Structure 1
């Protein structure tokens, strides 16, 4: 029986986990992937399928990072950017390639689930983004038209259609992306890991990497328990700042997000608030989200301005909001509260960094942790297989630590307070 550092809804309901803590590793490999989350494991799967000798090194247990802590939304979209913003920031071909990559993120997740027969409650039922206010509705209408021109199954729904989907009459319409959906994220990650090993890859848990040094022919990776020489090293450690992960983690703003799962709801309530079981995330700065799991637990989340006592306080606040927004007659009981850390880049776009020839890192899910990180892993695999940086769809930037990185949680708290005030003022 695994002893998780943090119990979550997903650890409570997960499939049996494989034990990779004693995997024997070779002295050499073609590619070493540091980090066993969605990004690293997807990259490893692509590389193993290509016949490469690939080793994944995970500092803890598979699923104890952000990939196993999120709410399981599959959202093939940007969190704080839109197609027009991407086109303004990036040159033409690069912008179009990134838009296509992101748009196909949901399809890629569910295709992998089917191909590898991963039992993770995958439901490609679509993703809803209701518009709070007429300005947001106009913005989403334009955005839907842009995605349609790119051939995506996205459309704008009227206020009445959104009310039929959510039971809420507070919205002025909304966007539906039919390629989105939900999964059990921990089971999906377990399935990716099994697929990697079936294809000949090796995974080692509790193998924290402390150093990556250049050698004449490649790189020497020092981890807890030994060393491996590799031609290519991929860094996929999200917002962690321990050991070698600091080179990625200090380039982003870490946001601690709390997730709350209720006891199962009645079929009557489910039919009113989610008749097609579509996940929801609206346009407010203080984002309102919800989804159902396979047993009709209601899952939503939030952040805390003050981290002290946050789980209990955020749990109560999230339930209060669910009752108010969804007009629930009975207050649902909390089953569990947990938290994870999301990595936010300054421009809200994914990015890759090169630390030397053949040593590449990728980061920047920006709250779109399942679809976006999977696509980022595929881009890292393409780079590891020799594709030129200029032709990759994700910008290659020089790594630059954020100034006063330790103070970024304070900035995030201030931003949350401002968002709540703004939503209240305009509500």
Structure 2
């Protein structure tokens, strides 16, 4: 099975080459299913620990969410605050997960620095503006909770938020100093290069259809008929549902997101809407986001309530929203539009699965894919190295595919319509 790369801003502007391996090893210590951020970060950690590793990617490197996202590096939860996490997991386990997630951006930027990955990395902070006084109160409280955990998170008043965004509709903003942006495809390819440089192998077009016991080892059989033996298997397949990825992929709600990059903004506009180069994502139900790339293109995204014809329609709609929200002097147009799928767990928290003896899976970045995958990959590597699942900061859950999984996109569409109505009422 070959999943080709879409035409995206990242494929057009990538500087690093896509280099992978052709010859499969006969056996390795750890076989990793999925060549995205999670799988490659896990591979890197295992190689540093002295294990032999093969990464098996069903399509091309970057054809999944790791190559399709907007490049935001955000070290917190999209839908859960610290108190909600503690209520769900208990104080000790909750704080362990909070510390892990809170250090996610630093983990990404550390890998970039250690491996000298040229991916336009900029740790300039992340801004979360509040739409309405109730949202401002919520973010003020959330910022205080993160500060109690020792994180550099503050709350800006409405005037300071206006200076950061050029927008006067917000009542304040949460500022997370650890956040930032990267070129996700170059980061992904840099991870591939780091894995191969350390002796691991990375294989494209290697969809794993079966994982079977063969004595004390696992045999991973690909759609091509080729196979590899491994002591331990890590499954890092996110929302995909092909081959052995099916069970884990069906445990989440897949959300199709459309991204656009516009023609470059003028210097005066850049100074007004992003004086410190910070990416922005507000609190509205119908989320408004934007960031700039190295050439000052505006990058934003959205979801479609009606999927038919959404590709072209969403591109125009997102560009129009950017022009209106940011009061741009001239209407912008999409230079390129692309789409990808985010995986959302029902409680918006990441989770580990034990799929068999020495076979582990991880999922649930919930819209925080870059920072969370760095940590999810590291935790999976710890499981592969034999650490007790009870001591890991991400909880292990029974794997239960969602009932009527094929209809979850319709539920997501209905929720989007409801969210837009709530925003209209709030306005």
Say if 1:207 and 1:225, in contact at 8 Å, map to a contact too.
no
Taking the aligned partners of 2:158 and 2:74, their CA distance within structure 1 comes to 21
* Separation of aligned partners in 2, 1:245 and 1:124: 33
Distance 1:35 1:353 in 2: 15
1:214, distance to aligned residue in structure 2 (A): 1.9
Alignment of 1:217-256 (within 5 A): 217-223=216-222, 224-256=224-256
CA RMSD of aligned residues (A): 1.1
Q: Which residue of 2 aligns with 1:377?
A: 377
Structure 2 vs 1, CA of residues 16 and 110 (structure 1 numbering), >3 Å: closer, same or farther? closer
Contact 2:125 2:279 in 1 (8 A): yes
Q: What is residue 348 of structure 2 aligned with on the other side?
A: 348
Residues 1:91 and 2:90 are matched in the alignment = yes
How far apart, in 2, do the equivalents of 1:47 and 1:201 lie? Answer: 9
| Residue 186 of structure 1: aligned partner | 185
Residue deviations 1:109-167, cap 9 Å, x none? 00111000000000000000000011110010011001111110100001000000000
The reply to whether residue 128 of structure 1 matches residue 142 of structure 2 is: no
Q: Which moved more, 1:101-110 or 1:305-314?
A: 305-314
Compared CA separation, residues 237 and 171, structure 1 to 2 (3 A): same
Q: Contact between 2:316 and 2:333, CA under 8 Å: does it hold in 1?
A: no
Partner residue, 2:199: 200
Match of 1:31 in 2: 30
Q: Which runs of 5+ in 2 are unaligned?
A: none
Q: State the match for 1:410 in structure 2.
A: 410
Distance, in Å, in 2 between the alignment partners of 1:51 and 1:19 is 22
2:324 matched to 1:324?
A: yes
Tell me the distance in 1 between the aligned counterparts of 2:61 and 2:311: 23
Shift of 1:215: 2.9
Shift of 1:17: 2.2
- Contact 1:251 1:402 survives alignment (8 Å): yes
In structure 1, list runs of 5 or more residues that go unmatched: none
Looking at structure 1, the residues matched to 3 and 244 of structure 2 have their Cα atoms a distance apart, in angstroms, of 25
CA distance in 2, matches of 1:347, 1:258: 23
* Structure 2 equivalent of residue 309 of structure 1: 309
Instruction: Judge conservation of contact 2:259–2:301 (CA < 8 Å) in 1.
Output: yes
Equivalent-residue separation in structure 2 for 1:56 and 1:3 (angstroms): 16
Task: Tell me, yes or no, if the aligned pair for 1:305 and 1:413 is still in contact at 8 Å.
Answer: yes
SS in 1 for 2:196: helix
Contact residue 32 and residue 234 of structure 1 kept, 8 A: yes
Aligned partners of 1:218 and 1:358 also within 8 Å? no
Q: Distance in 1 between matches of 2:83 and 2:339?
A: 32
TM-score (structure 1 length as normaliser): 0.98
What residue in structure 2 maps to residue 100 of structure 1? Answer: 99
Residue 65 (structure 2) aligns with: 66
- Look up the match of 1:10: 10
Alignment correspondent of 2:109: 110
User: In the alignment, does 2:275 pair up with 1:300?
Assistant: no
Q: CA deviation at 1:306?
A: 1.1
Native 8 Å contact 1:181 1:278 kept in 2: yes
CA contact (8 A) 1:261 1:335 kept: yes
- The Cα shift of 1:248 comes to 1.0
Give the 3-state SS of the residue equivalent to 2:258 in structure 1: strand
Alignment partners' CA distance in 2, 1:162 and 1:138: 15
Q: For 1:25 and 1:328, how far apart are their aligned partners in 2?
A: 52
User: Cα distance, 1:200 vs. partner?
Assistant: 0.9
- Secondary structure at the counterpart of residue 51 of structure 1: coil
Aligned residue for 2:147? 148
Q: CA deviation at 1:333?
A: 2.1
User: In the aligned structure 1, how far is the partner of 2:53 from the partner of 2:311?
Assistant: 38
- 1-side partners of 2:12 and 2:106: how far apart? 27
Per-residue CA deviations over 1:1-21 (Å, capped at 9, x if unaligned) read x9944110000001242332x
TM-score, scaled relative to structure 2: 0.98
Given that residues 210 and 244 in structure 1 are in contact (C-alpha distance below 8 angstroms), is that contact kept between their aligned partners in structure 2?
A: yes
After superposition, the C-alpha distances for 1:89-128 in whole angstroms (9 at most, x for unaligned) are: 0022211110000000000000111000000000000000
Question: What is the Cα deviation at residue 216 of structure 1?
Answer: 2.6
Is structure 2 residue 238 aligned with structure 1 residue 213? no
- TM-fit CA distance, 1:357: 1.1
Tell me how far apart the structure 2 counterparts of residues 162 and 4 of structure 1 sit (CA, whole Å). Answer: 41
